[in-house]
């Protein structure tokens, strides 16, 4: 089937071959990285073959990404000296800084029914309601048709999010308004509702929580299941869960900063800012670059009481119970380190915290604090700053801007055989019953056996 005309047409349409060729030719790109998620790798060779026709570029397939597949893997692309990246599949659309990127989104698995969508919409809203249309990137092409259908039905107060990726732009705009404390701008959203087209996904969860306290209501429509879900009650439950984690974070003294991206814009500034906040609050911080996150990796560091994840907005919310310690976002860490009252504002764009600084009067002092997590007074442990990086060398780029935080702060390249042993060497390293390192002479080097296992040179024939 792979050589049939039907399969070729399928590949040409799904992966936007003609449009991608035009992008490569207009940009005069010579080395192109093709980034595929695991579920699309089966088509990678065919896509490369079709793109090679009528283009003079060299192509490189990027498969196993360093972090989440939704993020553009600029690090791997730079390893092959690519001058642009074609990203296939779902994307978080985080801002990148090093290479030009073209996104080729997933195509819906079934035909979208505008009539069914309009029917669900009319069951929720009346013609006088203010509604913002948003959607998953793969459904953006249909929003204009949905909007036209609603206008013909008398809905004159419905708008489509501005920009090609309206969902992301809208969430970012609301997030910036929160940080700037622009109340006039925030009030503009209070009378609006959001109608989101797309199935359940991390992007939907992130958007719903970001907009939760700034819009009247939030509904999502799943075209695959043909059902509408009211997201506000779901977000309320998630907020209570996140609030409980923030209260736990107030009691900790050792914090681990997990680097979950090496490509999203301004991530180095955010890491430096977090370390300064932790230091100012009198806590101790350790830094980890461990690639894709999983419970097994983080469980090696039992001394860490809580982790803060610097990642793209879609991967920043980790609620799995498999992790030994809670994982919070940079904004949640800011709330935990200060005594500022949380008013259900939730920021996922980690760069937004760069304008949030711990005020001296808000820092938790060296005095007993009442812990909502335990119900008792807790004496915080004020520690001296101790900066440590446990790194995976394969994830670091050779370029200086990957390993440099700022003019005054650089990441340490610490070589350790056991990462956990670095924290408590004496308690986590086995030295035997007696330490004889200084008493035992090192073994002498001797010539070993030569040959193969079935017959060494010195053995009898």
Q: For residue 447, what pLDDT band results from cuts at 50, 70 and 90?
A: confident
Please give the structure tokens belonging to residue 225.
């299941």
Q: What is the mean pLDDT of the chain?
A: 76
Look-up: residue for tokens 């992301």? 168
Measured CA distances, 7 to 1, 3, 45 (Å): 6, 7, 13
pLDDT (tens digit, 9 = 90+) per residue, 332-362? Answer: 898 888 877 777 777 777 777 777 766 654 4
Sign of the alpha-carbon dihedral angle for 235, 139, 312, 261: positive
Position 192 scores a pLDDT of 85
Q: For residue 232, what pLDDT band results from cuts at 50, 70 and 90?
A: confident
Q: Is the pLDDT of residue 165 over 70?
A: no
Q: Is the pLDDT of residue 8 over 50?
A: yes
Sorted by where each starts, the structural domains of the chain and their CATH numbers stand as 5-104 (3.40.50.11840), 114-238 (3.40.50.11850), 250-422 (3.40.50.11860)
pTM, two decimals, is 0.73
pLDDT (tens digit, 9 = 90+) per residue, 181-230? Answer: 344 444 566 788 889 998 888 888 888 888 877 788 899 999 888 899 99
Position 3 scores a pLDDT of 53
Q: For residue 376, what pLDDT band results from cuts at 50, 70 and 90?
A: low
Point out which residues pair with 442 in neighbouring strands: none
Q: Is the pLDDT of residue 157 over 70?
A: yes
Position 410 scores a pLDDT of 41
pLDDT (tens digit, 9 = 90+) per residue, 404-424? Answer: 443 444 444 433 334 444 455
Q: For residues 402 and 339, give the distance between their C-alpha atoms in angstroms, rounded to a whole number.
A: 34
Measured CA distances, 415 to 74, 83, 292, 391, 422 (Å): 25, 32, 20, 8, 10
Q: Is the pLDDT of residue 140 over 50?
A: yes
Q: What share of the chain is helix, strand, coil (3-state, %, to 5)?
A: 35, 20, 45
């Amino acid at each position: 089937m792979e050589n049939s005309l039907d399969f070729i047409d399928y590949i040409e349409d799904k992966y936007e071959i003609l449009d991608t060729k035009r992008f490569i030719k207009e940009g005069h790109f010579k080395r192109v990285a093709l980034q595929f998620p695991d579920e699309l790798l089966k088509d990678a060779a065919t896509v490369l073959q079709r793109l090679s026709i009528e283009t003079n570029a060299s192509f490189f397939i990027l498969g196993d990404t360093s972090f989440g597949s939704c993020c553009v893997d600029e690090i791997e692309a730079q390893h092959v000296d690519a001058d642009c990246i074609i990203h296939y599949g779902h994307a978080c659309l985080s801002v990148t800084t090093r290479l030009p990127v073209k996104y080729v989104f997933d195509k819906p698995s079934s035909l979208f029914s505008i009539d069914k969508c309009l029917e669900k919409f009319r069951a929720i809203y009346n013609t006088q309601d203010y509604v913002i249309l948003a959607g998953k990137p793969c459904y953006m092409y249909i929003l204009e048709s949905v909007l036209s259908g609603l206008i013909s039905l008398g809905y004159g107060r419905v708008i489509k999010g501005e920009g090609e990726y309206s969902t992301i732009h809208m969430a970012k705009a609301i997030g910036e308004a929160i940080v700037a404390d622009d109340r006039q701008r925030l009030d503009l959203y209070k009378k609006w509702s959001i109608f989101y087209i797309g199935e359940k996904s991390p992007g939907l969860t992130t958007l719903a929580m970001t907009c939760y306290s700034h819009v009247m209501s939030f509904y999502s429509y799943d075209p695959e299941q043909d059902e509408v879900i009211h997201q506000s009650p779901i977000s309320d439950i998630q907020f209570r869960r996140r609030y409980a984690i923030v209260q736990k974070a107030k009691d900790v003294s050792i914090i681990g900063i997990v680097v979950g991206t090496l490509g999203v814009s301004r991530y180095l500034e955010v890491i430096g800012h977090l370390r300064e906040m932790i230091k100012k609050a009198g806590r101790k911080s350790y830094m980890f670059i461990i690639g894709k996150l999983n419970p097994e990796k983080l469980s090696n560091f039992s001394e860490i009481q809580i982790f803060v994840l610097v990642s793209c907005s879609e991967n920043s919310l980790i609620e799995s119970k498999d992790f030994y310690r809670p994982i919070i976002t940079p904004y949640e860490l800011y709330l935990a380190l200060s005594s500022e009252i949380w008013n259900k504002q939730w920021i996922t764009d980690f760069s937004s915290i760069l304008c949030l600084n711990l005020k001296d009067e808000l820092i938790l002092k060296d005095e007993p604090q009442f812990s909502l997590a335990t119900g008792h007074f807790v004496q915080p442990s004020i520690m001296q700053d101790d900066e440590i990086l446990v790194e995976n060398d394969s994830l670091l780029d050779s370029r200086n801007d990957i390993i440099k935080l700022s003019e005054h702060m650089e990441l340490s390249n610490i070589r350790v055989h056991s990462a956990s042993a670095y924290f408590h060497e004496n308690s986590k390293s086995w030295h035997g019953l007696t330490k004889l390192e200084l008493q035992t002479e090192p073994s002498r080097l001797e010539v070993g056996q030569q040959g193969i296992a079935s017959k060494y040179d010195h053995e009898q024939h």
